[in-house]
A and B are shown apart, each in its own frame.
Chain A
Amino acid sequence: MTEMLKVDGISKSFGGLMAVHDLSFAIRQGETVGLIGPNGAGKTTLVNLLCGSLYADRGEVELEGKKITRFPPYQRCHLGLSRTYQIPRPFPELTALMSVVTGALCGKNRINRGLDDAGAEATHYLEFVGLFSKRNILARDLTFFELRMLELARALATTPKILFVDEVMAGLNPGEATKAVRLIARAKEQFGLTIFWIEHVMAVLMEAAERIIAIQFGEKIAEGTPEEIAGNDRVIEAYLGSGWKKEVAI
């Protein structure tokens, strides 16, 4: 399997705070890789760095062999990188259909994509996430779960090769959560995506991810299969504190 995304020693600091420190990992094509870490570990900063909202101080990011470290976000999108946001960021004044159409229209550098063609494509993605009946409703009138689905549809409409899913479980009840996980799995199958999944809810990643990377304070503390991570001492300590380990040891 070829390497889709390679991150080599990236660092980012804000003033005196080192948010991400010398992080390196690689994601191969077709994998689902999870990213976990306690609050403040630097997960969102890492995603922002990879997507282009922030520029790294040091290090390199490669997408399919191309160095994208200094590329602006829209160029990364054209090369196949898409993300969803932790707190959904829809286009509040656009209808659901038009939001996805924007994604379909701009996602790739196609010259002659007309509004109607993009509209037809967008309905396909809306149908995939189950929002077709809500296509003419303004994004600000949708429910929270529908907003998440809209985010997903819009990201999918840009025909990405690798999709960053940022804490999609947050705020969903168990029924919605299952639906979301199944949808992402189906999307991966149907569209041939690679998925980089940042998540807090461990149970989801245990099932869905093939590999998990754990970070804390901006540094990588573990990398491996879900079982390995679950048993990793440093990970447990990061989440639960060192006192826990002493109790368990008894």
Chain B
Amino acid sequence: MVDVEIKRDRVIIRYKGKKWDWILEPRYWRNTLIWTAFLILFPLVAYFVSPILLNTLISANLYAAIAIPLALMTVGTGRMNFGPNFFIGVGGYTAALLSIAYGWGPLATLPFAVIASLISALLFSPLVIVARGLYYVLLTLLLPLVFLEITFIYTDLFKGDVGLAGIQTLVNTGSVKINFLLSAFISMLLMLVYLWVVNKVLKSRYGLIMAAINDGEEVAHGIGVNINKVKILAFVFASGMIGVIGWFYAHYFGTFAGITYLPLNFMIKILLVIFIGGRAQVFGCVVGGYFIAFLEMILIVTMGPIQPVVFAIILTVLLFALPEGLFGLYRKRRYREYLPTLHVRR
């Protein structure tokens, strides 16, 4: 009757002598439209079903939106940053402090959050050049933890573990539910914009230069690549992008506490978005973000207080069971391309 044949890059459906084929490629323009439309409709559906779904959706978009610049940073610097939430802290606290002190709205605090992230990234950028691969891992691991300590030390300013409250919310239409829905769309937009930007960068000549640096730094240096400039630019640019997410968290929740975002637990979730979603492939970050957010939500709803333990166990199992990540399951069947993938060098 209906004959479905799955080939390497397309699905062929035969029915009564007619043949349709559909190309299996998330970046094929029809597929992109389909899943973008789906992503846009989903918040509307969730709005009517349950607020928990909407919240999970926002979480998913934000996890993906943190993982995408992190992937760019990893490819661009050739090292794995184990403390991206440091920049979330920087962006979030800047937005929170400015909003509380001067009563500024989200649009006014945004440029300052970005500038703060860029400056702090520039401050720590020597790490990218000086620290060899695994030293860099360790030092970036420590950055958010030390920042957390500072927020505790200067409790009068940062309000330690209680967190800053009274931040202006992202949108103010009068109805809480509509606010919620609009925030969901904004997070979706943010994530899609990041996806588009980073994909463009990785497919451009800068992506090629980064791939070359990853494959052979000295050789790349010898054929005319200014490796230090490329690495620092990738680091700073990606940090700015991550800082914006901190800004979003601050204005979306109306409160911002370092203890939510700076400890290891949050960082591991982000790392796993990358590893489970698909190693440093930007589309994989979206898949990973949604997967982790929904897994977390399901566990919280069904398991209660033991959720963190089970969550961590499931993530560990998945890390080992899916060495190529979810997206990697798909990508294995494709032809080879030169897109840079995750290389952590010694």
Chain A residues packing against B (C-beta within 8 Å): 51-53, 72-74, 77-78, 82-83, 85, 89-95, 98-99, 101-103, 105-109, 113-115, 118, 138, 154-155, 158
A161 and B296 CA atoms in complex are apart in Å by 60
Q: How far is the CA of A109 from the CA of B336 in the complex (A)?
A: 30
Is B215's CB within 8 Å of the partner chain A?
A: yes
A-contact bits for B203-238, CB 8 A (1 contact / 0 none): 011001101101110111111111100000000000
Residue of B208, B222, B341 ringed by the most chain A CB atoms within 10 A: B222
Residue B28 lies at the interface, judged by CB distance under 8 Å to chain A: no
CB distance from A180 to the nearest CB of B (A): 20
Is A53 within 8 A of B225, CB to CB? no
Is B338 interfacial (CB 8 A cutoff)? yes
Majority-rule SS of B interface residues: helix
- In the complex, which range does the number of interface residues on chain B fall in? 20 to 34
8 Å CB contact of B204 from A52, A95, A107, A115: A115
Return chain B residues, CB-CB under 8 Å to A94.
208, 211-212, 215, 338
Return the contact of A53 from the options B220, B222, B340 (Cβ within 8 A).
Answer: B222
Give the residues in chain B near A113, CB-CB below 8 Å.
Answer: 205
| Inter-chain contact B209/A106, CB cutoff 8 Å | yes
Number of residue pairs A-B, CB distance < 8 angstroms? 89
- Given contacts A93-B341, A94-B338, A95-B338, A74 and B221 within 8 Å (CB-CB): yes
Complex interface: chain A residues within 8 A of B204 (CB)? 115
Partner of A77, one of B211, B224, B336: B224
Measured in the bound complex, the distance between the Cα atoms of B219 and A158 in whole Å is: 13
What separation, in Å, do the CA atoms of A131 and B215 have in the docked complex?
21
Min CB–CB distance B132 → chain A (angstroms) = 17
In contact, A106 and B223 (Cβ under 8 angstroms): yes
Contact between chains at A93 and B211 (CB < 8 Å): yes
CB nearest neighbor in B for A89? B219
**What is the CB-to-nearest-CB distance from A91 to chain B, in angstroms, rounded to a whole number?**
4
**Known contacts being A91-B212, A102-B212, A113-B205, is A52 close to B222, with CB within 8 Å?**
yes
Contact B205 A158 (CB under 8 A): no
B223 and A77 within 8 A (CB): yes
12 contacts between A and B (CB under 8 A): A51-B222, A52-B222, A53-B221, A74-B223, A74-B225, A82-B222, A82-B223, A93-B338, A95-B338, A98-B338, A102-B220, A102-B223
Contact A91 B215 (CB under 8 A): yes
3 A-B pairs with least C-beta separation:
A91-B215, A77-B224, A106-B224
Q: A91-B212, A108-B224, A109-B224 are in contact. List 15 more A-B contacts (CB 8 A).
A: A73-B218, A74-B221, A74-B222, A74-B226, A77-B223, A78-B224, A82-B223, A91-B220, A94-B338, A98-B211, A102-B209, A102-B212, A105-B209, A106-B209, A158-B223
How far, in angstroms, from A234 to B225 measured CA to CA in the complex?
Answer: 41
Complex-state Cα separation, A114 to B208, whole angstroms: 11
From B211, B221, B227, give the contact of A91 (CB < 8 A): B211
Chain B residues with Cβ below 8 Å from A99 are: 212
Q: Which B residues lie within 8 Å of A155 (CB)?
A: 223
